[in-house]
Structure formats: C-alpha cells, structure tokens
C-alpha cells in the first residue's frame, strides 16, 4: 500500500487513527489507549521531525476518539510544531481528513501562523457557519490574505480536503471534486509555527474531528495527488468524486491554466500568458493554435 512518504517532498504527516502515533503526554511517551484520552502530543511520520505538542500556555487538551480515530478539539486547545526550515514553504500541497460537525466555529484545521496573528502563512480554515472550507495564503509582506473555498461537508462524515498553493494560484478540492481557484501574489514565508486544531495563541478551535494531515513542499502532479486521495479515501471510507477541471501546461510560458472539462477557461491562475479557449481537454492536442498547444496529453495530466 502507498505511504505518503513514498512520494517526494513530504514535510509533515500526522495520522491520528493509530494510537501509537498519539500520546497523552507532551513527550510522546504514553500512547493513548482509551476513548476520550486527552492528547498531549503526536508523531510526525514524515521523518522531518515536525512533531506536534501542546503549547506551553495551553489550559486544555483535545481528546482522542477511539471509534473514529480522530482528535476532537475544544476551547482553547490545539497542537503545534515549532517553525522549521522544512515547514517554510513558498509552494505546497496540503491534505486534511476531518469531520466538520459543529456550527459557529470558524478556525484553522492546519495552518502555519505566528502566535496571536490575524493572518497566516498558509493553511485550511473552516468558515464560522461550517458551510465552507478555505485554503488561505498570506500575500507577500502586506498582511493581506487570499482564499479559495469549497463546501465544508457539514454532515458528520469524513471528508478529504486538498489544497495547492504557489506564487500565483490557490486551488482547493473536497473529496477530489468540488473545487475553486484564486489568484494570489507572492506567498509570504514567515516564522510561524505549524498549528493543528485551532488558532495559535487564541481561544479558537476547529469544531472538527481531525483524522490525518499531510503536507508536501511542492505543488504535486495530478497523478500524485490522485494517489494520496485514493490512499486517504480507502483508509477513511470516503467516496471520491470526479474532478470538474483539469490544469494544463501553457507551452508559451511554461506555466499552468485551469480549464473546465467542457474546454472553457476557468482562470489563468499563475499570472502567465493565457491559453486560447480549447475545444477539448481530453484529446491529444489541447490548443486551437500551434503556439498555444500542449505537447501531449501526458503533459496535461502530469499536473
């Protein structure tokens, strides 16, 4: 079976479904054994050493749910991994498996952010009404943020959120299907810690049972994203939808544009030269003019 570390660039991987990865103490010595055990730390399985632990000022702890293999967070608790070079990303791919079942709680599932910061470097956030999950990235150094949103699946079931970000574009999917994109400025690389389950330094919490989080230091190819989605879907009993878009390489500038499967241009998401409208994205050639054609189908499907 595929492991997330089989693909290059994995910088953080937290699997809360296995008790041996989740601990009652802050030093990863006493594994959880029973339902509702309070959580003090969790192992990073990526090999990068970005282990999660309770912040020093924590006054509460999340609880491990044996039946679902998730950690449920309440006010005001979360887990964090200190800032490290491997987590300082200008581009990346994030996967998060969670259940959003509570309302009026708009907080981060996973995010890299300074303590008490109003904005973050990158991360997934649930909307206050739990009707949307947003991928948020801080732009440059001006403190503003760009988001791309997807329905939050507030039905008590597991869902897989996947997001990619880079200088120029954000994209987000739920269960590999419902997606959105947004154009952003250069991604800001700061000194924030990686936080799972809440807002760093505040009383916020997610209102979600979080099962697994995986972070890569690059925008993964479509075939590789599909591998991780399949791995997570099989593990967490999630039915994957069919993608409604495909991202195609622009042979003029070497960058990528996103198209609906009917061939209409959704967005030139990276600030490069846009494609002409294509007649199809399933054939061998995708452009309507030679100078705007992709080299072949493999090129289009490689992202």
Within 8 A by CB and 6+ apart from 298, the residues are none
Query: What pairing do the DSSP bridges indicate for beta strands 22-23 and 52-53?
Result: unpaired
**pLDDT number for residue 174:** 84
**pLDDT number for residue 104:** 45
Residue 300 has phi, psi (to 5 degrees) of -65, -40
Q: Tens digit of pLDDT for each residue in 137-165?
A: 776 554 455 666 666 566 778 888 888 88
**pLDDT number for residue 156:** 74
Intervals of the chain under pLDDT 50 = 104, 128-130, 142-143, 260-303
**pLDDT number for residue 231:** 94
**pLDDT number for residue 9:** 97
**pLDDT number for residue 275:** 40
- Residue 51, number of CB atoms within 10 A of its CB: 20
Count of all residues that appear for the chain in the document: 303
Whether pTM exceeds 0.75: yes
Q: Tens digit of pLDDT for each residue in 242-264?
A: 655 555 556 566 555 555 444 44
What the chain holds in terms of domains, given with CATH numbers, is 4-236 (2.60.120.200), 245-301 (no CATH)
**pLDDT number for residue 300:** 37
**pLDDT number for residue 267:** 42
Query: Using the 8-state DSSP alphabet, how is residue 234 labeled?
Result: H
């Amino acid at each position: 079976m595929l492991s997330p570390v089989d693909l290059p660039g994995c910088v953080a991987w937290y699997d809360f479904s296995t008790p041996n990865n989740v601990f009652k103490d802050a030093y990863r010595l006493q594994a959880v054994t029973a339902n509702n055990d309070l959580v003090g730390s969790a192992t990073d399985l990526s090999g990068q050493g970005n282990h999660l632990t309770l912040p020093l000022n924590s006054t509460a702890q999340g609880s491990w749910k044996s039946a679902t293999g998730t950690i449920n967070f309440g006010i005001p608790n979360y887990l964090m991994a200190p800032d490290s070079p491997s987590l300082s990303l200008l581009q990346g791919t994030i996967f998060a498996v969670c259940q959003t079942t509570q309302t009026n709680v708009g907080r981060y599932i996973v995010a890299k952010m300074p303590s008490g910061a109003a904005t973050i470097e990158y991360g997934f956030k649930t909307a206050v009404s739990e009707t949307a999950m947003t991928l948020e990235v801080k732009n440059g150094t001006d403190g503003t943020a760009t988001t791309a949103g997807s329905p939050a699946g507030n039905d008590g079931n597991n869902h897989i959120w996947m997001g990619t970000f880079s200088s120029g574009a954000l994209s987000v999917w739920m269960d590999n299907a419902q997606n959105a994109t947004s154009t952003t400025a250069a991604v800001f690389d700061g000194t924030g810690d990686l936080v799972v389950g809440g807002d760093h330094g505040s009383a916020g919490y997610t209102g979600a049972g979080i099962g697994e989080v995986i972070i890569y230091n690059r925008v993964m190819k479509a075939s590789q994203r599909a591998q991780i989605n399949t791995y997570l879907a099989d593990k967490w009993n999630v039915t994957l939808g069919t993608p409604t878009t495909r991202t195609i390489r622009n042979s003029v500038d070497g960058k990528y544009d996103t198209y609906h499967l009917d061939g209409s241009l959704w967005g030139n998401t990276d600030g490069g030269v846009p494609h002409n409208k294509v007649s199809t994205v399933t054939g061998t050639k995708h452009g309507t003019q030679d100078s705007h054609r992709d080299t072949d189908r493999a090129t289009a499907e490689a992202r």
